[in-house]
Chain A
């Protein structure tokens, strides 16, 4: 530590509707390093924060879905560009949270590459998964994918950057808006990633990131009636059951991502497909 300059410590905030906010509840929890030094005070988001996020996501989703596939691809690419430029910061944050330097560098690299991977799918997954259906009657009939809508994501605790990035990228490249709960034990990168998103032309509200306690927030994520799908990563058996029971109130799509190898399995168009609906359109053929 140089004595002639005091470092400016960062306030880690949550990200709702394109704004960096403190929890409306005023609550926080303290993140410490292995030596018990305080790293930061982290917002302990409340139910109200989550509900505000859903409002923001719902408000943003339709116009985001209406943007062209090309634009989705370019914006995801842009996120990768900005993340690349700030890679040192993310490596440092991972290290600060107890991850070995080599591992941290690898995770940041993979996260950047993952964004490029999904950017590339933006104008291709539709072609892979849609169909023209040869019906017997005199109709033109086709099925395409459309975004499920507002997706709540409880991201993995361990893979705090790559897992987070993979979940977000797969959801938003398909035109969904999302509310993401960051890793509880390693929340720093999620907040910094919100800053990356903010600098990347991602419209406000498309991605909302909360920090806080999984045990407290899970039921709100699962039960909200204006959320269309919930993705939960590495929930235990009891949590999975709670989520599924609450999700049924509005027939949410429930997607479990347990023990995912985030460095490999999570690069797949089938992750995009998880939060897509199949729409079939009919029109008569005649004169």
Chain B
């Protein structure tokens, strides 16, 4: 445990000078149309909505609001491209187009990073080091699969599905677009993608990249808008496959609305991951893992380690160290390279998080927040932990999608496992121990699609991601992610 002698005076004497990323070279148009059939076009009904910087509440641009008519145009363009050039193209040639997208994204990485942070509120360090490089890597990885699909499904042939309708969330805007578009294209499908309402800008930038890469018109169409545009995609009879990432409630609605159709679907939904710290863990590393698990991307992460289980004998030490570490986290300007926690994505999400803070306290939880100051304008939430909560607490059971951690303790191995699995979700989990046999036992028994042992919140294009139980259906990433975009037949 840190003692008063070796504890650094984080309280004030160690401030950082601002180190903001410059926005000089960034080109954001005042208005964005819809990207349909290779062109940026006006929405049929002429409606646009503001997209704002959640850190300043300033308007960044205006974005087209797609109606069902626009979605219909996009689906028809995608169908024509599927029947036409894209469907007829040799897989190896398709592959080269996808590689091109990856390369152009790498070239424009800095621009993408800054816009991602401006529009979504995430720290520039994260956009720069995680979101954007992983997005490019995702295209690069799947590009190579295009002409090798026969090796992915032993004893089967793999054929494309047709038009994929894809709906993505606001927490990793460009990365989620890449997770959706790259495998769809590699498998020979065409795409209609709808970004989230609050984070459309990097998707429109991606549209520029796709146009610059020379993809045939209609292969990728990007329609911006709110829930109605998403519903129009799901309900469109010309869509062969729906891929959705978002909340379990919306996922459930989509699964119901697809009932009775022949449309395929994959759903990547909510989570409430257990992060389990055993007494024999490397405690300092585990504390870093807890911080990364719940405060990464403001906690706007479906696989966030939002339920912490600490073995009782080390609970005091872990919680004390965690509180110390929370004091060092810098909350503020997303464009500042020192920032650890950026802005909450929207006022709607901030309200939701704040309501859970009230619920947690009303349920008898003991709330602790770091003492940092947050800017006056913009949407902010200081890193928050709850202790004294129980399995039945709503802050333990429900997905908050913010920097809010619910902490419980356990004595025995089985107790940790039972508590960890006591949730309808099953997206991810974490375990910290120095004992290898315990790692393998625990990682096998946690009912979740991704399990991190002595690490947390790691992602890679080659690594399948997706949930058990109510956290979704299907996988994205890796060889297993191809499955979502092909139909298998007898050889």
Query: Given A143-B478, A277-B468, A280-B463, do A248 and B449 touch, yes or no (CB 8 Å)?
Result: no
Within residues 421 to 453 of chain B, which ones have a CB less than 8 A from any CB in chain A? 424, 439, 443-444, 447-453
CB proximity of A170 to chain B, nearest CB, Å: 15
The verdict on A37 contacting chain B, using a C-beta distance below 8 Å, is no
| Chain A residue nearest to B255 in the complex (CB) | A248
Query: Given A249-B252, A251-B248, do A283 and B453 touch, yes or no (CB 8 Å)?
Result: yes
- Chain B contact-residue range equals 35 or more
| Chain A residue nearest to B267 in the complex (CB) | A251
Query: Given A136-B137, A136-B460, A283-B455, do A237 and B449 touch, yes or no (CB 8 Å)?
Result: no
Query: Given A135-B460, A141-B463, do A245 and B256 touch, yes or no (CB 8 Å)?
Result: yes
The verdict on B15 contacting chain A, using a C-beta distance below 8 Å, is no
The verdict on B46 contacting chain A, using a C-beta distance below 8 Å, is no
| Chain A residue nearest to B443 in the complex (CB) | A281
| Chain A residue nearest to B472 in the complex (CB) | A251
Residues of A within 8 A of B444 (CB): 146
A-B pairs with CB below 8 Å: how many? 115
| Chain A residue nearest to B428 in the complex (CB) | A280
CB proximity of B422 to chain A, nearest CB, Å: 13
Residues of B within 8 A of A139 (CB): 455, 458
Q: Is the Cβ of B451 less than 8 Å from the Cβ of A280?
A: yes
| Chain B residue nearest to A268 in the complex (CB) | B155
Q: Is the Cβ of A281 less than 8 Å from the Cβ of B470?
A: no
The verdict on B128 contacting chain A, using a C-beta distance below 8 Å, is no
CB proximity of A133 to chain B, nearest CB, Å: 4
Q: Is the Cβ of B255 less than 8 Å from the Cβ of A251?
A: yes
| Residues of B in contact with A (beta carbons under 8 Å apart) | 137, 154-156, 248, 251-253, 255-256, 258-260, 267, 269, 424, 439, 443-444, 447-455, 458, 460, 462-466, 468-473, 475, 478-480, 488, 490
| Residues of A in contact with B (beta carbons under 8 Å apart) | 128, 131, 133-137, 139, 141, 143, 146, 148-149, 228, 237, 240-245, 247-251, 253, 265, 268-270, 277-284
CB<8 Å pairs between A and B, sample of 28: A128-B154, A131-B480, A139-B455, A141-B462, A143-B464, A146-B444, A243-B259, A244-B260, A245-B256, A247-B255, A248-B256, A250-B424, A251-B471, A265-B490, A269-B155, A270-B155, A270-B156, A277-B449, A278-B449, A278-B480, A279-B451, A280-B449, A281-B452, A281-B453, A282-B451, A282-B452, A282-B455, A284-B454
Name 5 extra pairs, CB < 8 A, besides A131-B479, A278-B464.
Answer: A242-B259, A248-B256, A250-B470, A251-B252, A283-B454
